[in-house]
Amino acid sequence: MKKRGRLMAILLSGALLCGIGTGCTDSNTTESAKADYTWSNVAIGGGGYVTGMEYNPKEEGLVYARTDIGGLYRRKKDTDWVPLTDFLGSDDWGYIGIESVATDPVEPNRVYFAGGTYMNNPAALFASDDYGDTWTRYDVPFHCGGNQSGRGCGERMRVNPNNNKEVWFGSRDSGLWKTEDYGKNWEEVTSFPVTGNYKQESNNIGILWVEFDPASTDLYVGVAMTDGQCIYKSADGGESWTALPANAKGMYPLHASFSTEGKLYLAYSDNCGPNLSPTDGAVCVYDPKTDSFTDITPDLKDGRQGGFGGISVDAQNPDTLVVSTLGWWSDNGDNLYYSKDGGKSWSGLFNLSTKETNYQMDTSEAQWLDWGRGENQAKTGWWVADVNINPFNSDEVMYGTGATIYSTRNITKIDEAPVTIAFDAYGLEETAVFKMIAPPSKDDSPQLYSIMGDLTGFAHMDVTKCPDDAHFMKNGKPNDVDCAFLNPNIAVYTSEEKTSALNFTQDGGKTWQTVAHKPDPAAGGQVAMAADGSTCVWVPGSVSGKPYATNDNGKTWFYVEGLGYNAKIAADRVNPKLFYAACDGLFYVSKDGGYTFTSTGQMVADSAEPITVFGQEGNVWMSSSTLLMYSEDGGESFETVKTLPTVDSIGFGKAKTDDSYPVIYAEGNDGENGYGIYRSEDKGKSWLRINDEQHLFGNLNPKYITGDSNVYGRVYFCTDGRGIVMGDVAQ
């Protein structure tokens, strides 16, 4: 086997990743040691696409989950999911889309992943010998597509169970690679004859998976080839390759799974999903003893649509397997088929032709997953590209969806009783968050309002528990959210969709009323609500975004006088009559509930936004990337804060004592301790960085941060794929 392209490690992360629920300090500064923080998430319960999961076959309970924009997670027996890639920050955010993960079947402490979100970004291979607590990174000359077409295929990376020093990885655009020393050096396997020629949405799909025959030392590789020549076998460690009999042209084996007896089971689709939904598929088994394929496609006349995504064989029962559909957009969701006789006969979760169902969804721990279906139970899920039978528990089939992880509780009883499918994503969070509001909540009002991609947002009654369906917004593509700080049950959010551009609640987000008639055909934009909810000012999201005001939740509207287009607005958190705005480089104030504004004559940066302080009438801060200043007299005068030269966002939280100024939280750089999350308890005179280099949380975009109005020391901030990160002072 010829070798070339040797890759050496260029970075040892040195990152002891403090897991969720542990305190971690920055060893680089003595200041940060004073601010010991515990990091977790506002509980939602997933919210994004879990593209694959891998059980370790030797250590019971050890399983890894990969996501398309939220990094890698680990779960051990009787614990929640723990994020493993928070050491990757904004400079390395491109590695957080996980292409593939491999757990070592010989030494379970070893684990590997391929990181690369998009094909036009750099990719890297990562190796760990301590369950992912620390990683060594190896930069590579090829690319990954962790958030692109074909991201549910796999696994593209696999540890050789016969010699676990070997790890093999199939790339999208540069063929097959391997390491012979636990990942220290990677080499291209130049003997492998193809790289894959099928493209989807202009992206290479390349190698789909790597598998080892447990009954021999043979290696199999699946490739996306348009001629149907998609599976290759090596009996000599990769020195030479033999093409297996071709499958039908235009059919791609997205997943493969060996039985302990050495039969290779394959799930096919006519494209590689999930962005493009397959329209046809097949399930086959290959027997190396006879060098032949047998079609075992489930034929239950159940109205099946689409193709097949994931497939898994039971480690305890070689004739038992499960396969998932991919792209079946039924009202039930995707289907799972289960066979106890090697695919000769099948049982499904549901049958659309006969209207029969044989499952029950248990979303009690994350009820928002019901998605407003009322008496109809939650969908089984969509984009189900990977399924896995727990090697130590044949009743458990874990699978990822576009929103969360589910696991079956009793699938072996599928012919005797309904299969229970339960939410199984405790600790795994993958939303792309836009903004949060944390008012001084009371017993019957939300602790937090949030808006985000895909899910719209939530009114969080308890940030430690996944939201219920009643407080799930569901409707629209949100831009902004605000609430009345004197009555947090009153809130409003804007949406880019014209049919749901403005939405009001009077009951803490339990119900939302969409404004039927708007004064402007535009949608989205900014919104600010008076401290008592009596008035609301809206700046539409358009080039000619002239502000409007309403005092009856959008039934009637008034032109706002005194402001130009695209003003940035905020409401005083104490006095309902006070509103503030920045427009055309000047600061403005309204003293009549937002109907008229006048300039105070104070100049502000064009990019500056007003941020108001709860419990402090007339207090308004102006934040731009290079300038932070504040006023305590409603904008008549400002004082500049020079102690944080770079500041991208600020927010306020409860003070340590009742007579102290609220704690200020910021995303920025003090010039000494690097870019991070900072806290000030003296009105910006000094700052502490409260996160460290092991807690960078990927892509912190959009830049938005806020403290908790009720809990001292608690901070929330947005991420693009890691949900709402929540920090608390360590106990």
E-state strands within 540-691: 548-550, 558-559, 568-571, 579-583, 586-590, 598-603, 609-612, 620-624, 627-631, 639-641, 646-653, 663-669, 675-680, 688-689
pLDDT given at position 543: 81
- The confidence score (pLDDT) of residue 71 equals 98
DSSP conformation class of 470: G
**Residue 492 identity (one-letter amino acid):** V
In a 3-state reduction of DSSP, which class is residue 83?
strand
Mean of pLDDT values over 206-231:
97
Mean pLDDT, residues 521-532: 96
pLDDT at 7 over 70: no
State residue 624's pLDDT score: 87
The alpha carbon of 269 is separated from its chain's Cα centroid by a whole number of angstroms, namely 26
- Report the Cα 305 to chain-centroid distance in Å: 27
* DSSP-based three-state secondary structure for 582: strand
In terms of Cα–Cα distance, which of 412, 326, 421 is closest to 377? 421
In the chain, the percentage of residues whose pLDDT exceeds 70 is 95
Q: CA-to-CA distance for 45 and 162, rounded, in angstroms?
A: 37
Distance from C-alpha of 615 to C-alpha of 663, rounded to nearest angstrom:
12
List, for residues 423-454, the tens digit of each pLDDT value.
Answer: 999 999 999 999 999 999 888 999 999 999 99
CA separation, residue 596 to residues 1, 558, 564 (Å)? 78, 10, 12
How far is residue 524's CA from residue 494's CA, in Å, rounded to a whole number?
5
Check whether 684 has a pLDDT greater than 80: yes
**Identified catalytic residue from 299, 444, 454, 682:** 454
DSSP string, 376-419: SPPP--S----EEE-TT-TT-EEEE-SS-EEEES-GGGTTTSPE
Average pLDDT over residues 501-510: 97
- The conformation of residue 302, written as its DSSP 8-state character, comes to S
- Model pLDDT, residue 349: 98
pLDDT tens per residue, range 31-82: 434 579 999 999 999 999 999 999 999 999 999 999 999 999 999 998 999 9
Active-site choice (26, 68, 314, 520): 68
pLDDT exceeds cutoff 80 at 705: yes
The per-residue pLDDT for range 642-653, each reduced to its tens digit, is 999 999 999 999
Helix or strand run (H / E) with residue 638 = none
- For residue 214, what is the enclosing H or E element? none
Q: Mean pLDDT, to the nearest integer, of 307-320?
A: 98
CB 167 within 8 A of CB 160: yes
- The answer on pLDDT for 148 being more than 60 is yes
Domains for the chain: give ranges and CATH numbers: 3-7+46-423 (2.130.10.10), 433-729 (2.130.10.10)
Distance linking the first and last C-alpha atoms of the chain? 56
**pTM score, whole prediction:** 0.94
- Ramachandran bin of 106, using left for φ above 0, alpha for ψ from -120 to 50, beta for the remaining angles: alpha
Instruction: Note whether 667 and 61 are within 8 A (CB).
Output: no
Determine the average pLDDT of the residues in 100-106: 98
- pLDDT over 90, % of the chain: 91
Catalytic, 454? Answer yes
Say what the pLDDT of residue 13 is. 37
**Integer-rounded Cα radius of gyration of the chain:** 27
Q: Encode pLDDT of 572-631 as tens digits.
A: 999 999 999 999 999 999 999 999 999 999 999 988 999 999 999 999 999 988 889 999
DSSP code string of 672-707: SS-EEEEEESSTTSS-EE---TT---S---S--EEE
Taking 60 as the threshold, does the pLDDT of residue 659 lie above it?
Answer: yes
